[in-house]
Structure 1
Amino acid sequence: MQLEITGHHLEVTDSMNNYVREKAERLKRHFDQVMKIHFILEVEKQRHKAEATFHANGNHMFADAYADDMYAAIDALVDKLDRQILKLKEKLKSHHRQEAAQLVATTEPTD
């Protein structure tokens, strides 16, 4: 997995960098096909914004989160990304194929 962490109007400290990398490992645990994640940490007046774009298995997704604290914004962002990855993972599993195959197997006449 390739991680990019950038800051707008903000110096990304080593502790922030390590925190983001630690949280990104959680995403990798759920879906190992995440190829690239680009995190952007930004400060807008008193609000802290964390946003990310990730590319996984041909899909491009985006999430952002706002909070009064940068670490809280990162936590909220990772929660959103986690939900999106789990949703993508469920979408890639085709449950309908199995149901259709079972239906065809039970309705075929036997000789």
Structure 2
Amino acid sequence: MKINLSGHHVDVTDSVKQHVDEKFAKIASHFPTLISLDVTITKEHGEFEVEVRTNYEGASVAAKGTDPVMWPAIAAANKKLDAALKHRKGQLKADKHAKPDVTAPEIAYEKVQEMNLN
């Protein structure tokens, strides 16, 4: 999986790249059809915001984590993206199950009329 990492008002160093790769490695193993992630780290007003976007099975999935420290913000975005991908995967699996046919319940009155009570 390719990770496109960019920073806005943040220097993206090798240690930041390595940390992001380590954090999102689990997602790559759980969702092998993911091709790429777009990760943007922004710092505004003393708070880091990490935004992650990807396409999964035809749908755009995004997650955002914020924290005054960069590392917990990356972890929060990772956790939210994992939850969003699991939700999307569940939706796709639910569509494959056969839906039961709706049948009208039998009314007790009709059953009594059919019975031979003599």
Give me the TM-score of the superposition, normalised by structure 1: 0.83
Higher helix content, 1 or 2: 1
The question of whether the paired residues in 1 share the 8 Å contact of 2:61 and 2:85 is answered with: no
The question of whether the paired residues in 1 share the 8 Å contact of 2:63 and 2:77 is answered with: yes
> What secondary structure, in the 3-state scheme, does the structure 1 residue paired with 2:97 have?
helix
Deviation at 1:16, TM superposition (A): 0.7
Higher relative contact order (CA 8 A, sep 6+): 1
Question: Letter of the aligned partner of 1:91 in structure 2?
Answer: Q
Query: Hey, what does 1:29 align to over in structure 2?
Result: 29
- Structure 1: gaps (5+ residues): 104-111
- Structure 2: gaps (5+ residues): 103-118
Q: Distance in 2 between matches of 1:100 and 1:33?
A: 30
User: What do the CA deviations read for 1:39-80 (whole angstroms, capped 9, x no partner)?
Assistant: 001111210110011112211111111101100000000000
Question: Letter of the aligned partner of 1:33 in structure 2?
Answer: T
Give me the TM-score of the superposition, normalised by structure 2: 0.78
Quick check: which has more Rg, 1 or 2?
2
Aligned residues: 102
* RMSD of Structure 2 on Structure 1 (CA): 1.9
Query: Hey, what does 2:69 align to over in structure 1?
Result: 69
Moved over 2 A (4+): 94-101
Q: Matches of residues 2-81 of structure 1 in structure 2 within 5 Å?
A: 2-81=2-81
